[in-house]
């Protein structure tokens, strides 16, 4: 399974705690589908589960008088794709009213119902499910939204720029592509949409690439030891990033703040090098002790967060 499909699977699995966030994801899924109008409303995707989510989300939110058809087709190379269509015009009009697109002319993007950062992240997740894709980060860093109208593409770029995402765009055949190339911004977007673990996976890939390049430059370095350093550093960085994201640097005891920042900024450093670069030098075992304390703090926070989330199954 591709990284893009893994990402879509994770975005589909998010259980929103309230209706507005669920509505926002459904809104993004519909508005960025192939067609969204009174005359025709359809989603085209290579992912059968996305097509089914399109139908299920509409029924769960709005309820329809007729049906939504989900059909499988084959392209010229024999690869399957799926088309979900809202069959009845009265149902299409009902959907447009529900999301505020029933005026004439229809607004390009109506986000009056999106009232929080969580809801905006859910909206972006729905848009990605409808028209997004991503290259495996092991090959390169590239995430894109393939959007059917230029005005809609520009509107989406403006929305995402408001939360710090610097998208660029180009035209591909009859579509308009908004894309990110920077690994840091892609990590931020995945976290914003709710796919935190895959954001951490990109971070791990980046750390691995950095250390792998260092290995290539240092011929006498043993690969097995370096891989242990990679795995340990990746885990430490991921845990510290989690603490900083959820609690901030000031949450940490004073003696752990400097080592936390130093580890995140220098994932390639050995324990000895970390100790030598602290304001008050520490031995290798002293550094290791502090990193283990950070690991215990991460475990406690992760367990608390897990207990807070209700099981909605």
Quick: pLDDT tens for 182-200: 888 888 899 899 887 775 6
pLDDT tops 60 at residue 299:
yes
With a CB cutoff of 8 Å and minimum separation 6, the contacts of 76 are none
**Domain 3-190 adopts which CATH fold?**
Endonuclease I-creI (3.10.28)
Average pLDDT for residues 43-66, to the nearest whole number? 91
pLDDT tops 90 at residue 51:
yes
144-174 b/e (C-beta count within 10 Å ≥ 16 → b): bbbbbeeebbbbbbebbeeeebebebeeeee
Q: Report the distance separating Cα 286 and Cα 100, nearest Å.
A: 59
Quick: pLDDT tens for 103-116: 989 999 999 999 99
Q: Give which of 255, 300, 304, 308 is closest to 280, Cα–Cα.
A: 255
pTM of the model: 0.67
pLDDT tops 50 at residue 313:
no
Q: Which secondary structure element, helix H or strand E, spans residue 45, and what is its range? A: strand 41-45
What is the residue extent of each domain of the chain? 3-190, 195-308
Band (pLDDT 50/70/90 cuts) for residue 82 is: very high
- Judge whether 190 and 198 are in contact, CB under 8 Å: yes
pLDDT at residue 311, as a whole number: 54
Q: Report the distance separating Cα 175 and Cα 157, nearest Å.
A: 15
Average model confidence (pLDDT) for the chain? 87
Average pLDDT for residues 251-257, to the nearest whole number? 90
Quick: pLDDT tens for 216-232: 665 554 556 667 777 88
Beta-sheet strand order (sheet of 175-180)? 132-134, 143-147, 175-180, 168-172
Note the helical H segments in the chain: 3-13, 19-31, 48-61, 89-99, 117-131, 150-161, 183-193, 196-217, 223-246, 254-265, 271-276, 284-308
pLDDT at residue 86, as a whole number: 95
3-state per-residue secondary structure call for 114-153: CCCHHHHHHHHHHHHHHHEEECCCCCCCCEEEEECCHHHH
């Amino acid at each position: 399974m591709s990284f893009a499909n893994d990402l879509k699977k994770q975005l589909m699995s998010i259980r929103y705690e309230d209706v507005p966030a669920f509505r926002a994801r459904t809104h993004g899924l519909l508005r960025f589908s192939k067609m969204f109008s009174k005359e025709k409303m359809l989603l085209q995707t290579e992912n059968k589960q996305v097509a089914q989510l399109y139908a299920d989300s509409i029924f769960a939110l709005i309820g329809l008088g007729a049906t939504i058809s989900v059909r499988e087709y084959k392209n010229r190379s024999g690869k399957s794709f799926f088309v979900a269509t809202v069959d009845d015009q009265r149902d299409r009009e009902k959907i447009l009213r529900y999301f505020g697109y029933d005026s004439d002319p229809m607004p390009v993007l109506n986000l009056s119902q999106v009232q929080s950062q969580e809801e905006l992240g859910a909206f972006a997740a729905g848009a990605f499910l409808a028209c997004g894709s991503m290259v495996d980060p092991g090959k390169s860093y590239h995430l894109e939204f393939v959007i059917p109208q230029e005005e809609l593409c520009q509107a989406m770029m403006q929305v995402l720029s408001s939360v710090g995402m610097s998208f660029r765009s180009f035209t591909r055949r009859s579509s308009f592509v908004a894309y990110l190339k920077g690994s840091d911004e892609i990590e931020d977007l995945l976290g914003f949409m709710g796919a935190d673990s895959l954001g951490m996976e990109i971070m791990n890939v980046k750390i691995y690439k950095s250390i792998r390049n260092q290995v290539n430059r240092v011929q006498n370095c043993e690969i097995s030891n370096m891989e242990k350093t990679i795995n340990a550093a990746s885990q430490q960085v991921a845990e510290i990033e989690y603490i900083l994201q959820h609690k901030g640097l000031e949450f940490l005891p004073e003696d752990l703040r400097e080592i936390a920042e130093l580890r995140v900024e220098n994932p390639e450093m050995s324990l000895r090098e970390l100790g030598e670069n602290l304001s008050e030098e520490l031995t290798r075992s002293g550094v290791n002790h502090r990193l283990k304390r950070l690991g215990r703090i991460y475990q406690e926070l992760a367990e608390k967060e897990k207990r807070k989330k209700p099981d909605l199954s």
